[in-house]
Structure 1
C-alpha cells in the first residue's frame, strides 16, 4: 500500500466538494455485483449527472501529473473514477474489487479522500494484508493505492459524511513484485541523483529500470 499526498490541492477540493453538493446521488447498489449488493450501503453520483465527466477528468488529470503515483502504478489505463458518499450508518462490508471493470483488468485500486478526517467519525478503509489489517483514513486530497487483489471494507460511518473518489488502474507492469522492484530502483535513483548528481553508476540504474520495463511491460 502506498500513500499519495496532496493529489488534489485545497482549491481543487473546494471546487469538487461544491460540485458534489449539487450533484444527483443514487443508491450505490446499482453498480454492485450480486454478492456485493448485500453488503454495499452507500451513495454514488448518478451516471447521468452533467458534472460527472468533469469531476472524473479532474481526478484523472491530477493523478497523471503526480510523480509518486506514476512511479508506483505505471498506469496503462485509469478507469473513470466513481464518487461515493457515506452518511451516518452507511458502510461497505468485506469485498474484493471486480477483476474486470469496463473491459479493463484491475491491477490496482485507489481511494482518494475528499472529506477531511475531522468531518466524519468512523468510515475507515480497512484493508486485509499479509501482516494483518490496515485501517486507513487520510487527509482530504490524499489517496491510498493498493492491490486490487486484497479483501477490504469501509467501516460504518458514525457521524458526518465521508466523500471519496474511487478508481482502478491497469498497470503496464502486471505483477506487484515487479512494480515494487521498479519503484525501489526509481526511489534509489532519485536519492542518488539528489545527493551526488549524474554518474556512471546512476546511469547503470537507469539502464536497469529501462530494460526491466521492456521485459515486463504489457501491450
Structure 2
C-alpha cells in the first residue's frame, strides 16, 4: 500500500530544517548502501551519527508518533532513526529494493524493514527530475510531493529516484518495522480503520461502530507480531 500523508512537518519547520541542513557537511551516500545498491546510488547523505542528523531525526520521529494517519497505515513497532539525503547535478538512485534487515546506527540492534518512508523537504518547483518512482503489481507510480509531506510504501517494492537535472532535492527517509508484517493485511486494517472513523464522524458511536471496532482489534490481535 502506498499512502500520501500531508503536512507531517509545517512550512516553518521545513524552512528551519533546510536552513540548518544547508550548513551541513554531506558525505557520499554509497556508504550506507549494500553492494548491489551502491552500484546505482549517486547522492549525498548526512552522516547518520552526526548530532544534526540525530536532532532532526528525533524531531521527525516525534512528529510521526503524533500523526494518526501514519500510525493507522504503518502500525509501527519500531522506527529506524531517519536519514537525510540530497540530490543535485544529475545525481540519482537507480532501481533497487531496500534491504530487509536494517541495523540501528551505532548499535548491534537489528530490525526488519517493512515500510519505507520519504519525507520531502524541497518544494517541487525547486528542482527538476528527482521523482521517487515505485513499481508494484499495480504499475509504476511517480511521486513528487510538497515539502513537509510524506509518502509511505512497502519496503519490498522496487523503486528508484530519477536524476535531478536542476536545483536540489533534499529529503529524509526512514524504515519502520510494522506490528503487521504483511502489506496486504496492513492495507485491509487501514481501510477498515478509516471506514470506522467515517462512520463514527457521521453517526457517532453505536452498535455497528462498536462491533466493527471489535473486528478491527480482533484482526490486529490475530495478525500482530509483537
* TM-score tier after normalising by the smaller chain length: over 0.9
Give 4+ residue runs of structure 1 displaced > 2 Å after superposition: 47-50
Does the Cα contact within 8 Å between 1:124 and 1:155 map onto a contact in 2?
yes
Quote how far apart the aligned CAs of 1:48 are.
4.5
Structural mapping, 1:1-219, within 5 Å: 1-102=2-103, 103-219=110-226
Q: Which runs of 5+ in 2 are unaligned?
A: 104-109
- Tell me the matched-pair count: 219
C-alpha contact 1:77 1:171 (8 A) present in aligned 2: yes
State the TM-score, normalized to the length of structure 1: 0.98
Over the residues paired in the alignment, what is the CA RMSD in angstroms? 0.8
Contact 1:23–1:49, Cα closer than 8 Å, also in 2: no
Distance 1:47 1:74 in 2: 25
| TM-score, length basis structure 2 | 0.95
- Correspondence for 2:107: none
**Cα separation, 1, equivalents of 2:164 and 2:54:** 27
Cα displacement string for residues 88-140 of structure 1 (whole angstroms, at most 9, x for unaligned residues): 21000000000000111000000110000000000000000112211100000
Shift of 1:17: 0.8
Residues 6 and 141 in structure 1, CA contact (< 8 A), matched pair in contact too: yes
The 8 Å contact of residues 17 and 56 in structure 2, kept in 1 or not, is answered as: yes
Q: Distance in 1 between matches of 2:223 and 2:49?
A: 39
User: Structure 1: any 5+ residue segments left out of the alignment?
Assistant: none
Cα distance in 2 for partners of 1:177, 1:135 equals 21
Distance, in Å, in 2 between the alignment partners of 1:178 and 1:131 is 17
Q: Is the 8 A contact 1:8 1:62 kept in 2?
A: yes
**Aligned partners of 1:32 and 1:198: how far apart in 2?**
48
Q: Secondary structure at the match of 2:157?
A: coil
